Amino acid sequence: ETGVTQSPTHLIKTRGQQVTLRCSSQSGHNTVSWYQQALGQGPQFIFQYYREEENGRGNFPPRFSGLQFPNYSSELNVNALELDDSALYLCASTRGGAEETQYFGPGTRLLVL
């Protein structure tokens, strides 16, 4: 086990709704990244948070937003859901540093109808 947990495991929403996904990292992991993995594809970087500040963003629109909390938990919020947002959402945490491994959670599978 990686020590990274995510909730919920599965979620069904309808187009236009908003969703919040949660991640709990290992103690001491002050860096968390979120990835979107569409079916049959590799994970795509959404953004990274370091000490509660956004620290880099991939090619995702502003309706994807996040928060990181001092207790090593974090959230991914998606507004105005679209059908193409259906995917597995992964969070990954690390202590930081070039040689420090990122540990992935099991993901939340989101289906948008």
Partner 1 sequence: QKEVEQDPGPLSVPEGAIVSLNCTYSNSAFQYFMWYRQYSRKGPELLMYTYSSGNKEDGRFTAQVDKSSKYISLFIRDSQPSDSATYLCAMSASGLGAQKLVFGQGTRLTINP
What 3-state DSSP class applies to 29? coil
Residues 72-111 that bind partner 1 (CB under 8 A): 90, 92, 94-102, 104-107
Q: Supply the DSSP string of 31-92, one letter for each residue.
A: EEEEEEE-TTS--EEEEEEETTEEEEE-S--TTEEEEE-TTSEEEEEE-S--GGG-EEEEEE
- Pick between residue 57 and residue 63 the one whose CB is nearest to partner 1: 57
**Binding letters toward partner 1, positions 17-56, x by CB under 8 A:** --------------x-x-x----xxxxxx--x------xx
Chain residues binding partner 1 by CB under 8 A are 2, 4, 31, 33, 35, 40-45, 48, 55-56, 58, 90, 92, 94-102, 104-107
